[in-house]
Structure 1
Amino acid sequence: MSTTLGAPRPDQAAYMLRAAAAEAGRTYKARLLDRLDPAPGQTVLDAGCGPGTDLPALAERVGDAGAVIGVDRDPRMLERARERTAGLRAVDLREGDVHALPVASGTVDRARIDRVLMHVADPAGALADLHRVTRPGAVVALAEPDWDTLVVDSEDLDTSRAFTRYTTGHVVRNATVGRSLARLATAAGFQVDDVTATTPVFRDFPDADHTLGLGRNLQQAIEEGHIEEERGRRWFEGLSQGPFYASFSLVSAIAVRGPRTG
């Protein structure tokens, strides 16, 4: 694994699978699944399913009598999801956009959107369409980072702060959507039951470089004139020497479409 300044962006599917397999990823995903609480025979939607990381666990919960619909706009992601879910009869993969889900209105009992809204053109519109496809009483689980809370320990605190500002302003499309989940879900017609925040902590520099894009995003910031080159290189080199610390907030929200029905 490279920790070179300006290293190429990793394969997106491999990146997502690795992030999900890390301790922080496993912990919040398990909690999100428990709060979503899919039951045998239900229809569950994973909007923006990516390479299918969470589809097997959802399929196990709903059983053969249920259905798990995975939607993603990237055919390459869906191909990886097909490989991951081969033999799972409950899983139905569909190519489509989260702003216009290829799902009939009022047919979904449980739905999840996990680290997708930070990338889309219109998070409010995506949640409005999620509201369309869910039944009254359906439970929805949402999880998004708030990249404004990214902190990287360094003696050069100014460069750490400049890196976070660059990440939120130029790298991630909707960098602070995590803090807005309750407001956006309420506006879309959901009743928000719970909002929590966890703090993934990174103490291994190569792992953080891969997950947080330290080297590749710093190189972009230098090339675009947001961080002076020599200053940025000293900062990056200092991080690699350790001890290392970085963290950010990951916000999860549980919401219901209309009143609970039991």
Structure 2
Amino acid sequence: MTETLGVPRPDQVDYLTQAAATDAGAAYKRRLLQLLDPGPGQAVLDLGCGPGTDLGALAGAVGERGRVIGVDQDPVMLAEAARRTADRPWVELLEGDAHALPLAAASVDRARVDRVLMHVADPAQVLAELRRVVRPGGLIALAEPDWDTLVVDAEDLDTSRAFTRFTVTEVVRNAAIGRRLARLAEQAGCTVRTVEAHTPVFRDPRLADQLLALGRNTQRAIDRGALDEQRGRAWFASLGAGPFLAAFTLFTVLAEVPEA
């Protein structure tokens, strides 16, 4: 049997928890919360809430008089989110599709979407739904990576570029969603208030392998003929042999639903 490169695919709950705990992950999440600026008594939607990584911070910001709604399509994620927020009865969890949110129009004051639009079938439809459920004058905070900007330092620069190209074309559904956020928000009828770019930098090759799937996607690229096997394996081995660096750009956008 051919040896599989890199660390095995992690449990999804563990993966999301670990990603949020990195310095870069914690920093952009703090900034996203600052931009969203939820306040006491407000209703806040966390679309694609996953295992509830960010629900606690939102619940703390709105307080017991507020309402936090976590929506996700994965029952496993919702079960973990329920466990983590069991002591906060003002957190409500709903199973639902981002393209057809189980919420009434103009029913929330704030909404956040964090690394979800890169996976959905129709990002424009999801933005339209967010505009529908957020009240006039309310805010929507978005955060998405742009995988076209992924760089991995290696002597074999051509293979680094081929790896990014494979990630963009074969791995991530909406790989360039980060750069599209502001345009999509405006096309949905929102007013864009802030656009920021963040650059998570990885110096630990094992952590990068876990979170960026370097080995797993190198293996996939080899299996699909996008990389020569000998060259791909040599490239991946070189990443752990010396000083390591990988980085990508993550965009955050704050948009406002205009007053009628």
What's the TM-score, normalizing by structure 2?
Answer: 0.97
User: What amino acid does structure 2 have at the position aligned with 1:48?
Assistant: G
RMSD: 1.2
Gaps of 5+ in 1: none
Q: Give yes or no for contact 2:13–2:51 (8 Å, CA) kept in 1.
A: yes
Q: Residues 4-153 of structure 1 correspond to what in structure 2 (within 5 A)?
A: 5=5, 7-153=7-153
Q: CA deviation at 1:7?
A: 4.0
Q: Which residue of 2 aligns with 1:227?
A: 227
Is the partner of 2:46 in helix, strand or coil? Answer: strand
Q: Give yes or no for contact 2:7–2:210 (8 Å, CA) kept in 1.
A: no
Give, in whole Å, the separation in 1 of the partners of 2:216 and 2:57.
Answer: 33
Q: Give yes or no for contact 2:141–2:255 (8 Å, CA) kept in 1.
A: yes
Q: CA deviation at 1:259?
A: 4.0
Give, in whole Å, the separation in 1 of the partners of 2:88 and 2:229.
Answer: 50
Q: Give yes or no for contact 1:40–1:61 (8 Å, CA) kept in 2.
A: yes
Give, in whole Å, the separation in 2 of the partners of 1:182 and 1:237.
Answer: 38
Give, in whole Å, the separation in 2 of the partners of 1:251 and 1:6.
Answer: 27
Give, in whole Å, the separation in 2 of the partners of 1:112 and 1:15.
Answer: 20
Give, in whole Å, the separation in 1 of the partners of 2:259 and 2:33.
Answer: 21
Q: Give yes or no for contact 2:209–2:215 (8 Å, CA) kept in 1.
A: yes
Aligned residues: 258
User: What amino acid does structure 1 have at the position aligned with 2:255?
Assistant: A
2:175 equivalent to 1:175: yes
Q: CA deviation at 1:86?
A: 1.1
Cα offsets for 1:43-80 (capped at 9, x unmatched): 00000100100000000000000000000000000011
Give, in whole Å, the separation in 2 of the partners of 1:109 and 1:210.
Answer: 36
Between 78-87 and 111-120, the greater mean CA deviation after superposition: 78-87
Q: Which residue of 2 aligns with 1:197?
A: 197
Q: Which residue of 2 aligns with 1:157?
A: 157
What's the TM-score, normalizing by structure 1?
Answer: 0.97
Gaps of 5+ in 2: none
Q: CA deviation at 1:6?
A: 5.2
Give, in whole Å, the separation in 2 of the partners of 1:15 and 1:192.
Answer: 31
User: What amino acid does structure 1 have at the position aligned with 2:59?
Assistant: A
Runs of 4+ aligned structure 1 residues displaced above 2 Å come to none
Is the partner of 2:240 in helix, strand or coil? Answer: helix
User: What amino acid does structure 2 have at the position aligned with 1:26?
Assistant: A
Give, in whole Å, the separation in 1 of the partners of 2:242 and 2:94.
Answer: 44
Give, in whole Å, the separation in 1 of the partners of 2:80 and 2:24.
Answer: 23
Q: CA deviation at 1:32?
A: 0.5
Q: CA deviation at 1:8?
A: 3.0
Q: Give yes or no for contact 1:6–1:220 (8 Å, CA) kept in 2.
A: no
